[in-house]
């Protein structure tokens, strides 16, 4: 009897672990997994940053990205928007073909793990600034896999003036335009992202025989 109970416990743990959707494995232009649509509080939404048709939830413990596990999280004593959530982007709500995802991560440890993993996986990104103190914006344009990988990270304050990292992370199929538009005059997601950030600036000057580069 004890062995049976142990096997049941181990089995339930394995089912729980396997129930996570690995976002890194999702394929563009394929219907999203039914498990995503069955998450308890998931809702159809097109009010995200890029206005894309999406399935939205704050149950991030159902998701991971490669080696990085996510969790449902709200910042202690944070403002109303200080929580993690995710938008799974689709072409429409009939075919539900996958276009990418955007997630807000407010857990500092998960944000740090994600950034380290992205650099290990995709190499050196294009570095940009958000205009906010210590804010960063990173871009990977991956032609082989036809995806844009975008990350913006800023420091935010809680109600009691403690600081935390707010990380906005997006992977989207190259060519995707705002509001799922097919009109070539509309901005792409990448163009919109770059419009809200600026390239890193460097100041060059000579010091004796060496040229020093100072990041502004």
Written as one string, the DSSP assignment of 149-206 is: EEEEEEEEE-TTS-EEEEEEEEEEETT-BGGG---TTSPBHHHHHHHTSEE--EEEEE
Q: Single out the residue of 18, 47, 46, 48 nearest to residue 33, CA to CA.
A: 18
Tens-digit pLDDT string for the chain (216 aa): 444 344 333 343 333 445 899 999 999 999 999 999 999 999 999 999 999 999 999 999 999 999 999 999 999 999 999 999 999 999 999 999 999 999 999 999 999 999 999 999 999 999 999 988 889 999 999 999 999 999 999 999 999 999 999 999 999 999 999 999 999 999 999 999 999 999 877 544 434 444 333 344
Q: Single out the residue of 87, 86, 91 nearest to residue 31, CA to CA.
A: 91
Whether the Cβ atoms of residue 166 and residue 153 lie closer than 8 Å to each other = yes
Q: What are phi and psi of 19, to 5 degrees?
A: -75, -10
Domain ranges of the chain: 22-215
Whether the Cβ atoms of residue 86 and residue 49 lie closer than 8 Å to each other = no
The shares of helix, strand and coil residues in the chain, as percent rounded to the nearest 5, are: 25, 40, 40
Torsion, CA 32, CA 100, CA 142, CA 64, rounded to 10: -80
Q: Single out the residue of 57, 187, 165, 151 nearest to residue 109, CA to CA.
A: 165
* pTM for the predicted model, two decimal places: 0.85
- State the DSSP H helix or E strand holding residue 18, giving kind and residue range, or none if neither: helix 2-18
């Amino acid at each position: 009897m004890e062995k049976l109970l142990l096997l049941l416990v181990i089995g339930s743990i394995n089912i729980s672990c396997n129930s996570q959707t690995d976002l890194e494995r999702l394929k563009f232009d394929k219907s999203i997994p039914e498990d995503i649509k069955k998450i308890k509080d998931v809702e159809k939404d097109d009010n995200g940053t890029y206005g894309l048709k999406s399935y939205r939830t704050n149950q991030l413990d159902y998701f991971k990205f490669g080696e990085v596990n996510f969790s449902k999280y709200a910042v202690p004593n944070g403002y109303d928007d200080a929580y993690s959530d995710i938008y799974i982007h689709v072409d429409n709500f009939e075919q539900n073909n996958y276009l990418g995802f955007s997630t807000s991560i407010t857990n500092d440890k998960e944000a740090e793990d994600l950034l380290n993993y992205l650099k290990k996986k995709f190499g050196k990104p294009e570095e940009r600034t958000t205009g906010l103190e210590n804010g960063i914006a990173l871009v990977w344009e991956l032609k082989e896999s036809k995806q844009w990988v975008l990350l913006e990270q800023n420091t935010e304050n809680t109600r009691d003036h403690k600081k935390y990292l707010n990380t906005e992370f997006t992977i989207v199929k190259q060519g995707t335009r705002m509001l799922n538009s097919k009109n070539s005059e509309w901005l792409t997601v990448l163009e919109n992202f770059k419009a809200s950030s600026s390239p890193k600036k460097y100041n060059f000057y000579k010091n004796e025989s060496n040229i020093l580069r100072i990041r502004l």
